Chains A and B, each alone.
Chain A
Amino acid sequence: MSKYLIIGNSAGGIGAAEAIREVDRVGAIAIISDEPYPAYSRPLISEYLCGERNLEGMLYRPSDMYSRNHIETHLGKKVAKLHLGNKQVELETGEKLNWEKLLLATGGTPIVPAMEGMGKRGIFTFTALDDAKAIEKLKGQARRVVVIGGGLIGMSVTEALVKLGLEVSVVEMVGRVLSAILDEPASRLVEAALKSAGVKLFTGKTVKKILGRGANEEIVGGVELSDGQKLDCDLVIVAIGVSPRTQLAKDTAIKLNRGIVVDNYMATNSPGVYACGDVAEAYDYIYGVYRLTPIWPNAYMGGRVAGYNMAGKVTEYQGGTNANSLKYFGLPIVTAGMVNLPSKDGYEVISTADGNIYKKIVIKDDRIMGIVFMGDIQRSGVIFGLMREGVKVTSFKDNLLSENFGISCFPDEMRKNKLQRQGGK
């Protein structure tokens, strides 16, 4: 019998376990994961693939973290079913585990569209260490790779494959790469960096079918695009995105939308059951709604809030929005919040561009709603801080994009408060 049962051993699950241990030193914690590894940094699977890091170098926490915190682990085991009524999970091995408080931190599952030729050998997704391991095994036999999807996952696998010396073609349905997190000028700068690294881009196109190798229909030999063009390749990476892994909650009383619906305490509608991370729809303070924001920091912070609440320390989630820091092909980029405007009404955009430096800030009703900084990202944290706190910036907005922007540009009162705030809040 575990007092706290956590399904998922990544950012959300670890965030919860660490918070629980701050409050409750003794209550039994168990973590279940279908992956056989101790918690590792998922974003680093690209560094694993190109040989820059091994599993040890990717570990998210020291290897004795579980034993030191008395956390029981069930790794490499899959949950078959939730029995909410008797507070019990059933593993595929037949084992049964009981809980008093349950956290669903199950993350996302890669989207693989139904597509002609999908059953062939040589097709991979790229969201877990095992994906990187599977691709790594074939890298010596491969020369050309087609990556389907020009989002974060697609960019990350592309960079690793380029480092391995492979020829990569990226096929992206939308007219530009990273369209969900960048605006058009920023996407174009990334595309230029991709092209100069030798990557071929096919934007505004989809893969219609995956072709065999010559007469052999079992193995990948190429793809056919929506415009009829054919690209030869030895591997296909499907990097379209992830969808919340809600399977366990289906057909239970737990309320689902696209993901698991949670309140500001990361609690689901089912008593004693919490959710966080990529599977949960938590509060987004920029959009003002509960939605999926599948990024690592939000998973950890949401997990932390869930953990405190599970252990009885009532804690409210401050909300999270999409925020990413990237440096594909050596180009540093940070982006947060709303970078593509839903309409022109009421939004003000300020921006500056000079060579590889591009900065843009979206303002609405006096408040920062979105940022894109490329090339020079040093001051982005102060700006993102203003955005998170919903500070009215109109009186000093002319300074926001200046090279020397910082706390010294705040109005007097605000600056003094910030510098003297105790506890660094």
Chain B
Amino acid sequence: MKRIYPREEVCIACRLCEVHCLVAHSKSKDIIKAYKRETPRALPRIRMEAKGAVSFAISCRHCDEPSCVHACLTGAMKKDPVTGIVTVDTEKCVGCWTCVLFCQYGAINPDIERGVATKCDLCPHLKEPACVTNCPNEALLLVEEPSHV
């Protein structure tokens, strides 16, 4: 399956990955409208972390043994048995944030306004995830690796 790996040695902490993730998951897919006209605004599902000289962007690892899926109280969090992609069904999600507690990467973003968990879905509607495409420095790598499931 596909996974996104950050390369901290070339990340310049520009946060464009967050911007393009938000736009890719907005209704309009338009950068201006997504930020200024859509309420509630879409949330980025990738997060840039920086401390001192170190920076990188982290998103869901679509774990082989996903704790968020196993811990989910409602069955909203699922791992596709074929693609390996972990997604959240926002109809079933009640925003209890158990997945937030169980994700050791801190990769699930609680959407407080909508009351549902949000996370990376690897942009199924695009050729490759928007964060990878739009990273100006190739600091996000999309890697195809064998699934162990």
B96 touches A408 (CB 8 A): no
Q: How far is the CA of A416 from the CA of B100 in the complex (A)?
A: 22
Q: Is the beta-carbon distance between B106 and A327 smaller than 8 angstroms?
A: no
Interface residues of A in 43-59 (CB under 8 A from B): 43-44, 47, 57-59
Determine chain B's interface SS by DSSP, over half rule. loop
Choose among B56, B92, B100, B149 the residue with the greatest number of A CB atoms under 10 Å from its CB: B100
Contacts A407-B49, A408-B55, A423-B64; is A325 near B101 (CB within 8 Å)? yes
Once A297-B102, A423-B64, A424-B61 are accepted as A-B contacts, the answer to whether A60 and B3 lie under 8 Å apart by CB is: no
Which chain A residues lie closer than 8 Å to B65 at the CB level? Answer: 425
**A377-B64 in contact given A406-B106, A419-B56 (Cβ < 8 Å):** no
Interface presence of A195 (CB below 8 A) = no
Binary flags per residue of B1-38, CB closer than 8 Å to A gives 1, else 0: 00101101000000000000000000000000000000
Complex Cα–Cα for A360 and B95 (A): 23
Q: When each residue 75-96 of chain B gets 1 if its CB lies under 8 Å from chain A and 0 otherwise, what string results?
A: 1000000000000000110111
How far is B104's CA from A61's CA once the two chains are assembled, in angstroms?
A: 25
Which B residues are CB-close (under 8 A) to A43? Answer: 73-74, 96
- Closest A residue to B104 by CB, please name it: A385
* A378 touches which of B56, B74, B100, B102 (Cβ 8 Å): B100
A300 within 8 A of B: yes
| Chain B CB within 8 A of A417 CB | no
Set of chain A residues within 8 Å of B6, measured between Cβ atoms: 419
A-B interface pairs (CB < 8 A), number: 130
Please report the C-alpha to C-alpha distance between residue A57 and residue B94 in the assembled complex, in whole angstroms: 10
For residues 27 through 59 of chain B, which have their beta carbon under 8 Å from a beta carbon of chain A?
Answer: 47, 49-51, 54-56, 58
B97-115 vs A, CB cutoff 8 Å, 1 = contact: the mask equals: 1101111111111100000
Does residue A334 face the partner (Cβ distance < 8 Å to B)?
A: yes
Q: Find the A residue at minimum CB distance from B148.
A: A423
Are B105 and A41 in touch, CB under 8 angstroms? no
Is A138 in contact with chain B by the CB < 8 A criterion?
no
The answer to whether residues A406 and B49 also contact, given A296-B71, A300-B70, A334-B97 and a CB cut-off of 8 A, is: yes
| CB <8 Å contact, A404 and B5 | no
Which of A301, A381, A404 is B103 in contact with, Cβ under 8 Å?
Answer: A381
Q: In whole angstroms, what is the CA distance A423 to B67 when docked?
A: 13
Specify which chain B residues have a CB less than 8 angstroms from the CB of A418 in the assembled complex: 105
Residue tally, chain B, CB below 8 Å to A: 46
Chain B residues whose CB sits within 8 angstroms of the CB of A323 once the complex forms: 101-102
| 8 A Cβ contacts from A379-414 to B | 379-382, 384-386, 388-389, 404, 406-409
Query: Contact between A378 and B64 (Cβ–Cβ < 8 Å)?
Result: no
Q: Are A409 and B73 in contact (CB under 8 A)?
A: no
Name the CB-closest residue of A to B9. Answer: A416
> From B86, which residue of chain A is reached at the shortest CB distance?
A424
Q: How far is the CA of A384 from the CA of B5 in the complex (A)?
A: 22
Q: Which residues of B contact A244 (CB under 8 A)?
A: none
Contact of A408 among B50, B60, B74 (CB under 8 A): B50
Q: Is the CB of A404 within 8 A of B95?
A: no
- Which residues from chain A contact B107 at a C-beta distance below 8 Å? 381
Whether A378 and B49, one on each chain, are in contact in the complex, defined by CB atoms closer than 8 angstroms, is no
Nearest chain A CB to B98 CB, angstrom units: 4
Contact A325:B98 (CB < 8 A) given known A407-B58, A408-B50, A419-B8: yes
| Residues of A participating in the B interface, judged by any CB pair closer than 8 Å | 15, 22, 41, 43-44, 47, 57-61, 296-297, 300-301, 304, 323-327, 332, 334, 336, 377-382, 384-386, 388-389, 404, 406-409, 415-416, 418-425
Question: Given A297-B71, A381-B102, 16 more contacts at CB 8 Å?
Answer: A59-B75, A300-B70, A323-B101, A324-B98, A325-B97, A327-B95, A332-B97, A334-B101, A381-B101, A386-B104, A404-B51, A408-B55, A415-B54, A424-B61, A424-B63, A425-B64
Chosen A-B contacts, 9 in total, with CB atoms closer than 8 Å, are A44-B74, A301-B70, A301-B71, A323-B101, A377-B100, A407-B56, A419-B6, A424-B60, A424-B61
